[in-house]
Structure 1
Amino acid sequence: MTFGQDMWTWGYKVADHETGHTFGLPDLYAFNGDLDQYVGGWDLMGRISGPAPSYFGWEAWKFGWITDSQVSCLDTANTYATTLTGLEYGGNGHRLAVIRTGATTAYVAESRKVAYNDSNACATGVLIYEVDTSTTTGNGPIQVVTNPNAAAPTGNCTALDMQTWQPGQWFQDDTARIRIHVNASDASTDTVWTYKVVTA
């Protein structure tokens, strides 16, 4: 494997990015249009030089770094309350809250904190994204859900880098009949309520 000039531009992170491909991860930057339109700087499979380059929890779950017991998965009509430990920290607590919406689709909520690999993160709180495993690499198989009440970007941060959700805020998809509500937050965790309603 050769990196050409990429190594001079991205440093060791280019090896992390390419190793992700070796283990089956797709490119999360866009092949057409704005490169950052899907995930911004939240994952090094997107913008390698992004401010919060940790792998998404969904990818860490695929790697086996997050176990099934650390995932709160809602695939039938129900309501769960889940305290999510920041993705950047170790331990045995829950890391992901997943709501399955179809054969290849799901919404995922994870807690992101300004720590370790994400020490330059532009925002902290609950990051929500939609996964569609049928979408091909470079076309948005993972897309960060935007928060209409997110803080305005500052410095080198982009609008998508700010898209975390805070206590009292919620995301709702009326078509999928799901809701993710952020209930509480502290320095290392966020608590979310996930809802799935019976489809008529």
Structure 2
Amino acid sequence: MKWAVTFGQDMWRWGPKVADHETAHTFGLPDLYAFTGDTHQYVGGWDVMGNIAGPAPQYLGWHSWKLGWTRDDQVACLAAPGQRTVRLTPVERPGGTKIAVLRTGPTTAYVAESRRAEGNDAAACSTGVLVYKVDSAAATGEGPVRIAPTHPTTVPTGCTALDLAARTVGQSFTDPGTGARIDVLAGGPAGDTVRLTSR
């Protein structure tokens, strides 16, 4: 046996999501929760590899791509200085472009994806465009994926500030270090449109 996972007492608390989480490790997915400090400081309740009890446990589009569930032709990349506009369909649904990737270095990139409160994410605290930084050089438990927060002024009961990180039309994200920018241009029931800018 080359790969195996174990199931302890967590299986009685989290049910089938434990199998989703632990089996994903055998396919190379890292833990997205922190091994030290605030346990859910990196991704909050997004992705079952983070807070298994979070409100939006659908695998991130980046992870779906790594697993081969999202095809290369469903990924829009901007790897050089310039701009690119991308129409995203929600990761919870089949078909369409799933992630927009803005490369910022040899091991780093920002990813934008469309999220909706349906399927595995039926209890999501926010919907719209989720933006996160990926660093393939970061070890499991040390933040290989980090959600870009939106800094809400109020947080509903049962949610965390990171759970409210999905951006809506008119909102944007800019990395002060690289100048990388992601703007949400449009959004609706069918998905979102974003503009990637690399300097």
Offset of residue 164 of structure 1: 1.0
Aligned residue number for residue 130 of structure 2: 127
Aligned residue number for residue 109 of structure 1: 112
Aligned residue number for residue 138 of structure 1: 141
Give me the whole-angstrom Cα distance separating, in 1, the residues matched to 2:129 and 2:102.
15
Instruction: Give the TM-score normalised by structure 2.
Output: 0.95
Contact 1:172/1:180 (CA < 8 Å) preserved in 2?
Answer: yes
Task: For residue 174 of structure 1, give the secondary structure of its aligned residue in structure 2.
Answer: coil
Consecutive unaligned residues of structure 2, counting only runs of 5 or more, are none
Following superposition, which runs of at least 4 residues in structure 1 exceed 6 angstroms of deviation?
Answer: none
One-letter amino acid of the counterpart of residue 94, structure 2 = G
Consecutive unaligned residues of structure 1, counting only runs of 5 or more, are none
Match of 1:167 among 166, 169, 175: 169
Q: Find out whether 1:33 has 2:58 as its counterpart.
A: no
One-letter amino acid of the counterpart of residue 196, structure 1 = S
Give me the whole-angstrom Cα distance separating, in 1, the residues matched to 2:194 and 2:115.
13
Aligned residue number for residue 156 of structure 1: 158
CA gap of 1:83–1:151, structure 2 versus 1, over 3 A, is farther
Contact 1:113/1:188 (CA < 8 Å) preserved in 2?
Answer: no
Aligned residue number for residue 23 of structure 1: 27
Residues 50-78 of structure 1 show CA distances to partners (whole Å, capped at 9, x for unaligned) of 10001110000011111111111001111
Give me the whole-angstrom Cα distance separating, in 1, the residues matched to 2:158 and 2:60.
21
Match of 1:82 among 72, 79, 86: 86
Aligned residue number for residue 177 of structure 1: 179
Give me the whole-angstrom Cα distance separating, in 2, the residues matched to 1:14 and 1:45.
10
Contact 2:149/2:165 (CA < 8 Å) preserved in 1?
Answer: yes
Give me the whole-angstrom Cα distance separating, in 1, the residues matched to 2:53 and 2:36.
19
Residues 46-104 of structure 1 show CA distances to partners (whole Å, capped at 9, x for unaligned) of 0011100011100000111111111110011111111100010112x111010000110
Q: Find out whether 1:42 has 2:46 as its counterpart.
A: yes
Equivalent residue runs for 1:44-63 within 5 Å: 44-63=48-67
Identity of aligned residues (%): 54
Give me the whole-angstrom Cα distance separating, in 2, the residues matched to 1:80 and 1:40.
28
CA gap of 1:87–1:193, structure 2 versus 1, over 3 A, is same
Task: For residue 182 of structure 1, give the secondary structure of its aligned residue in structure 2.
Answer: strand
Give me the whole-angstrom Cα distance separating, in 1, the residues matched to 2:153 and 2:194.
20
Contact 1:151/1:162 (CA < 8 Å) preserved in 2?
Answer: no
Give me the whole-angstrom Cα distance separating, in 2, the residues matched to 1:98 and 1:87.
14
Task: For residue 134 of structure 2, give the secondary structure of its aligned residue in structure 1.
Answer: strand
Give me the whole-angstrom Cα distance separating, in 1, the residues matched to 2:32 and 2:40.
8
One-letter amino acid of the counterpart of residue 77, structure 1 = P
Give me the whole-angstrom Cα distance separating, in 1, the residues matched to 2:132 and 2:48.
15
Offset of residue 157 of structure 1: 0.7
Task: For residue 8 of structure 1, give the secondary structure of its aligned residue in structure 2.
Answer: helix
Give me the whole-angstrom Cα distance separating, in 2, the residues matched to 1:33 and 1:101.
27
- Aligned residue pairs total 195
Superposition CA RMSD, Å: 1.0
